[in-house]
Structure 1
């Protein structure tokens, strides 16, 4: 992919929106930098109670230092609170605390933006000055146009809207029938058949038949087969455990991962709630790989809504909530560059972490 040049604050906000996949609200967004390259992009809810600035700053720093190469950060505060002339900016105490905590780690804050409902400005500028720009200027930025050209778009929020699925008893029966077939086979044979089915779907350019969707959902009901099918998604020939916890020597095939998510969403519409938890959990796992922590959490919660005892969903949600960042997000080559007031920085895979 050719390199892009990010030259304006509007470009920066467009970059954040497309990187996260949604427009943040009441959020702090931080982008870690190492000289000319961007590391992780963190979105986290702003603190709601006064007096929590220092604990909050320490939590943010904990996430940011997961990028061990970071030497500085950019930040943007997204809020509906009004900045008033002569008064400290909203959440100034939080930014001050974060500055101090990061300094202890040898990380500096390079620049910041204050993003309101209709306009944005440098965080340290006075409200209403010539530095204030309308928020809709991001829609005409060069980076926004380039991302849209490449098929990216920004959702207004990070709320997930699942495709509709009817609670059809025949779907559950079809899945159960495939599960009986799997149980009747030797474990190795069942595993190989499940992998062959999944590989055919991943290699195809077309969505599978309903019958194949039912068979896929049935295979995902068995933890041993499920884990192997999840590990087959990235197209990396390395030990399964290293793939599941993204500790591989080789980068994944991101287009294959995106297609797997579409296939799973398609299969979700062809199943019933009693069999949906493994499907939604796998989609959550994929979102964690991609660095979409907020969406990963939502998919895992949806899985737990269908089956509160589903262990993989609960353990995965705890893992994401602890701040563990998928290693693939730290290893992608830089592709985007920022110049002028924001200096030259590069871009890698996205990482949105949710508390």
Structure 2
């Protein structure tokens, strides 16, 4: 693939947008640099006042996992006003980040301040520095190249699910299947579920409605659910290490992507009372891939469907604490589809 050359602020913003897949809002985005080559891209929500130091240490810790990186390019996306003669928005955050990166032997190469309509150099004086309209990103060379390759930038990272059948005839069929599963020996039930799920993962077409109903029912059983989720990456290691993305082996990312499509398909055929396990499994996939904010949204949808769903509650606490999937801490195992979020 042809090497892309980033030359202008518009190129940087286009690169960020296409790498993440959406336009950041109230965010800090950092790109690690290895000599003059781009490394990892990280997006995080901007911190609350008073939390800048711990926030900066966490961000620097994530960036330091790119062992080859020596410097960082950042962009602050905010609607906060820029007042001439006063510090730039979130100056305390950038000051703390500068010190935290220095502890890891890294420096800040450059920074951008991205407002609602313009972009400018972060360190420039608001009264004198040049601001460019954000519309310039649409005509940037980088944007044109990404669009040519089929990439798009969504306005936000908000999750949009296809319509579900909600309270359909499938609900009773799922309940009957759950009862049948509970009447089986757990080992037999688990084998049946794993055989069905692996057959779906190895297929190149969607399952029929009867198979999908069986999958929905099997996901209602926590012991079976956890094993089915652990089957997704295609790694033969302990279940807990797989679910927490702390394996030695690399996930089969194409298999993971297909699993999400299968689960979304199952969601469209599920009732509200059966959808929480499906949405939670989709959340794990997004977390594994480095899409922390989307994982949170899927978990919130799971809790809307079932406010007492234990795995969704625990997982949301884990992701909300800033924990990043271990696979994304190593470029050899990280998902390459998009940038990393925390």
Say yes or no: TM over 0.5: yes
State whether structure 2 residue 37 is matched by structure 1 residue 39.
Answer: no
Listed as ranges, the matches of 1:1-355 within 5 Å are 2=1, 4-8=3-7, 9-33=9-33, 35=35, 36=37, 38-39=39-40, 41-47=42-48, 49=49, 52=50, 55-66=51-62, 67-68=64-65, 69=67, 71-127=70-126, 131-333=130-332, 350-353=339-342
Displacement of 1:216 after TM fit?
0.8
Asked whether the 8 Å contact 2:22–2:157 carries over to 1, the reply is yes
Q: Looking at both structures, which has the greater relative contact order when contacts are Cα pairs under 8 Å and sequence separation is at least 6?
A: 1
Question: 1 CA distance for matches of 2:277 and 2:71?
Answer: 39
Q: TM-score, normalised by structure 2?
A: 0.88
* Alignment partners' CA distance in 2, 1:262 and 1:296: 15
- Cα pair 1:207 1:263 within 8 Å, conserved: yes
SS where residue 42 of structure 2 aligns? strand
Go from structure 1 to structure 2 and tell me whether the alpha carbon gap of 1:349 and 1:168 turns closer, same or farther (over 3 Å shift). closer
What does residue 339 of structure 1 align with?
none
CA–CA distance in structure 2, aligned partners of residues 323 and 3 of structure 1: 35
Aligned-residue CA RMSD (Å): 2.6
Aligned equivalents of 2:193, 2:171: Cα separation in 1: 18
Structure 1 residues 332 and 121, CA gap change in structure 2 (3 angstroms): same
**Is 2:20–2:338's contact at 8 Å kept on the other side of the alignment?**
no
Q: Taking structure 1 as reference, are residues 197 and 141 closer, same or farther at Cα in structure 2, changes over 3 Å only? A: farther
Task: Verify the 8 A CA contact 1:334 1:348 in the aligned structure 2.
Answer: no
Aligned partners of 1:201 and 1:207 also within 8 Å? yes
Aligned equivalents of 2:224, 2:198: Cα separation in 1: 13
When the two structures are superposed, what TM-score results if normalisation uses the length of structure 1? Answer: 0.85
Which blocks of at least 5 consecutive residues in structure 1 are unaligned? 336-346
Bigger Cα displacement from structure 2, 177-186 vs 119-128: 119-128
Deviation at 1:111, TM superposition (A): 1.3
Deviations 1:33-52 (A, max 9, x none): 455452351321353x5xx2
The superposition leaves residues 202-255 of structure 1 with CA deviations (integer Å, 9 ceiling, x where unpaired) of 222222222222111111111221111111111223332222122222321222
- Offset at 1:4? 3.2
Q: Secondary structure at the match of 1:267?
A: helix
Q: Structure 2 regions of 5+ residues with no counterpart?
A: none
Name the count of aligned residue pairs.
336
TM-aligned CA distance change 1:348 to 1:166, over 3 Å: closer
Q: Secondary structure at the match of 2:4?
A: strand
In 2, are the aligned partners of 1:28 and 1:46 still within 8 Å (CA)?
no
Deviates more, 1:270-279 or 1:70-79: 70-79
